[in-house]
Each structure stands twice: as C-alpha cells, then as structure tokens.
Structure 1
Amino acid sequence: MGGTNQSSGSEFLLLWLSRKSKEQQELLFVLFLSMYLASVLGNLLIILAISMDARLHSPMYFFLRNLSFMDICFTSTTIPKMLINHILGSETISFPGCLTQMYFFIVFINMDIFLLTVMAYDRFVAVCHPLHYTTKMTPQLCALLVSVSWVVANLHALLYTLLTAGFSFCADNRIPHFFCDVAPLLKLACSDTHISEMVILTEGGLMTITPLICILVSYFCITCAVLKIPSAKGRWKAFSTCGSHLAVVSLFYGTIIAVYFSPSTTHSAEYDIVASVMYTVVTPMLNPFIYSLRNKDMKGALRKIMGRKRDST
C-alpha cells in the first residue's frame, strides 16, 4: 500500500487470528464458535423464559431481559465477522465496516454498563425501600430508564465514531486484534490525535466510572440496610437477591478496567486481547448461567420451556 494516505474506501486487516498457527486457528475457531452459540442460545432462553412466565413480569426481570438482548447484540457485533473471515480465508474489513463495527460495539458495551447500573438501583429500591418498591419502580420509569440509556449510548458511540472518521491513516493498516476498537485505530492514525485522545479519555472515563460509582453507592446502601436485619436468614435472603448481579458486575467491570484503565506499559497486546475476549464473549456467555443457577423462579421458568419443547417433539 506504500506510504499513501488512506481514504474512506481503504481496508484494514484484522490479524490476531491469522497470526496463530494453523492448529491454533482451528482450535480458536471452534472455541469462539462454541462460545458464541452458547451465548446466543443461553440469552435467548432467558428472554423466552421471562417473556412466557407471568411471575417474571417485574422490573428486575424486565432489565434482565434487556441485558440478555444486549449481550446477544454485543457478541454478534464482533465474533461473526472474525469467524466469517476465517472461513473465507480473509483478514480484511473495510473502513466503513470498521467504523460501523466500532459504533455498535460502543453502543452495546455502554448499554451493558447502563443496564447493570439500573439493575443495581432496582436492587437498592427493593432492599432499602421494599414497601415503596411497586410505587417507585413503575413500568413507565423502567421504560424511561432503558430509553435514556439507549439515547446516551448512541450519542456516546456517535462521538467516538465521528472522531475516528476524521483520522488520516497511512501505510500501516494492520490491526493486531479480532475487531475494530478505538485504541488500535488510534495507534494506526498518522494525523494528530492528541485532542481526540483527550476527549475520548475524559468522556469515556466519565461514561464508565460514573455508573460504577452509582453501583458501588447502591451496594453500600444495600449492605448497610441488610446488616440491620436481625435474623441471619433474612440477611442471607437479601444478599442472595443481589449475588448474581454483583458477580456479573465484578466480571464485566474487572476485564474492562484491565483493558482500558491500566497502564499500557504493564501488559502486552495479547493480554489486552485475552481481557477483551473475557468481556466480549465470556461474560455474555456466563450471564445466563449466573442469573439462572441462583434464581429459583428463573430455573422454574426454564424448566417449563424445556418441558414444552420435549412435549412438542
């Protein structure tokens, strides 16, 4: 490609998988395909279970159903392209395709963050204000919280995409990753990205840290309220309703912080990719298991679905 400046019609090369040996490529292809199918199937079952069981038509499960839908979209933004490229023996992704992938990746990762925050608020109201739960967490408020999350997530993604679209890319079009993310594209840009990096760091930090602070404050209040419950059984029951959500938050935020907020000098590019796999593939795949294994109502609804499937065969 020489040293010419790349236009919007250029291509990028997603090289992470192709840099592996043939045996590793086949193993990783099967592994990613299996995890993707497990993630989609598991989250679809969660959506069906909540939709078909009237007992699960509550704010907590409304948010969980939305989270499952986001997880399907989240994994579908990155993994299928990598799998298709492997099947076709290709490494390329067009510049518009790269920006589109990055846009939806940012939308869905932010929707995951916002939904986890809203779910923490829902647990806070349920534990700290149980007598007022139904009057506070109305269907209108739940729909409003999800709608506002959608708007903010799309505006956030649009800002990042417009900033990236203004970069000039020179000879090197190789991305050592399996999808288009902001950080690898910043490294490839040959134009001055200092202002864009400052905007991305500041705005992105606020969009990530602010929800985390809200979650931590919610759980601090929940912990204080639970510790006031006189019986050990009551305390355990209150904590158990929050355990699944807290496990998902810890796994999701832990890997995001490892990728985006730890010094780049302390880890390799392969470390970033492994951490990215954790929150783009592993966490969405584990969420259905985390939420269903610790929840009697969810397990009952899933049994009903599986029973109907067996009866129909």
Structure 2
Amino acid sequence: MNKPSPIKENDHLLQVLHLKTHYPVKGGFFKRTLGYVKAVDDVSFEIKKGETLGLVGESGCGKSTTGRTIMRLVNPTSGQIFFQGRDISKIKGKQLRGIRRNLQMVFQDPYASLNPMQRVGDMIAEPIYNFMKKSKQEMKDEVMELLNKVGLQQEAYNQYAHEFSGGQRQRIGIARALALRPKLIIADEPVSALDVSVQSQVLNLLKQLQKEFDLTFLFIAHNLSVVKHISDRIGVMYLGHIVEMANKKDLYNTPLHPYTQALISSIPHPDPRKKAERIILQGDVPSPINPPAGCPFHSRCPQAKLECLTVKPSLKEVRESHKVACHLY
C-alpha cells in the first residue's frame, strides 16, 4: 500500500495522516509501562480553507485528543500533521511557536482557560504582545476592536473573568483566539458548558466571524444538533478511529455506519407526534487500553458478521465524498 503524499498548500489548509496518540499506563513499584491508552489510533482527514469540519462521538472516543495533538499540546505517537503544506508533527521550539500564530484553540471550559488574576484586556492583548511589535495604545485599540467583534462592551477591558457569565467568558476566549488573526481555529466543545439559550448565540457568532476573518474551523462536539448547525462536513469517531466522514446533508439523511445510525436515531425530534425508530446499542464501549481485534465497533454492532471480528475495516469512499469504515459496504 502506497503512502499518501502530502497535500499542496493551495489545496487544503490541514491534512492529518495516520495520526496516533497513545498514553503510557504505568504501575508497580518501579512505575513500569504496563500498556498504552490508544486515545487516537490511525486517524486521517483533511480540511479545506474556509471550511468547518465537525468531529463528533461519545465521551472518550479521542476527538479532543485529536484536536490537542494537532495543536501540539500533546505530542503524536506517530503519523503526520500537514499545516499549509508543512509537516508540523515533529517541530519544536521557535518553529512550533511560529506555527502557533496561525493555529489557535477555543477550549471547552471558558472559566478554566482564562487567568483569574489577569484583566480581560491583558489576556486578549498577551498574544499580540508576544508576536507583534505594537505600542500599548495600538494593542489597546486592537483589543477594543476584538471585544466589539465578539459582542462585548468596552467596559470589559478592565474587568476580570469571574465578573462574566459563561457565554461572555467564551466570547472572551474567542476574542483571544482571534487576536493573531489565525488561519485555523480548533474549537473543543466550545458550547457544551453553556446554557442552551446561549449556545445558538455563540454558534452564530462563530459563523459570522468565520466569514469576516476568513477562518477555518475544526469543531469538536458530542451534540449532533450543534455540529449539524455549524459544520460543512462531519467525521464520526469511535474508540480512537474515524468510522464515517461525509458532508452534513449526506451524513444526517443517509448514515451508513451502524454507529452513526444509532447516533442519528438518538436526536430528539421537535414534533412529538412523529415517531422515529430508536437504535439502542448494547454493551459498553471497550477499553482503549485493550481495544478489540477487527472492527472496533463489532462488540456492540447489531449487524456484525464473522469478518468484523478479525479484520479491521479501512476508511474508504463508497459514495461521492462519503467515506465509511465498515465491512457492510
């Protein structure tokens, strides 16, 4: 099997090839390595410029680790990460610092990701101070503009994070991520900690900012309705693998993988009179320390066959722009 070649810079903004991130499990008196948690296990995808790719799956499937590995907050075990045509999977020091200017992250918990000892203006200005040679007044003007862009009053400049609501804190986190005008933003469950009434406001803000700043998003979430609202394409993860990838219309109208079908069937319908068949999965998610042989989903799959127990399916295109890792196709 030939190894895929890296993308051209004018083709896609990001390409991930066979990415693996394994965490060692240590135990005993000498803290020996007893095994590995295979959080991300052979993941490949690409994101075009200006696109939003949604990454969904239940808790523990590896989607957040994928985002953090791309950001190089976690070092990959193996695989390649091409950003603007350049492999960033092994770079360190000044080279990595330079890449981070165009690669930013919005975290799940807006309060934990903000420094409680810093004023909002200083937090947003910090990346500008670190990467750009601007005067204090120029930095302040820049921060004031960013506060306005994310829908916050100028009074927020001199306030602290604890003085704001959850939705407002997340807007501060978004403003900080925008400070360097990055090309790619990884949004890791950015609305899951917010009230439902605030979630749509933040999602609409992200869509608005995407057009204004020509942004590309990797949007990580477990809420399928949220991902449908903001994404162009969606990848479904299970136990460290991407099991299906398609544009949102195809994925929601004609899901192919049994796991995706179960996820889609769990979405509540706004009309209570319309009864949809609910697919209830049996059993629990296997341990990522000792994942099953063959298809990672076979132990819970209602359509599993003998081949699924021994042969791991590869992610392949079975329809136009619709990929699935399943022996049924």
**Could you state the TM-score of these two structures normalised by the residue count of structure 1?**
0.24
Q: Which has the higher contact order (CA 8 A, sep 6+)?
A: 1
Q: Give the number of the structure whose residues are more often strand, by fraction.
A: 2
Q: Give the number of the structure whose residues are more often helix, by fraction.
A: 1
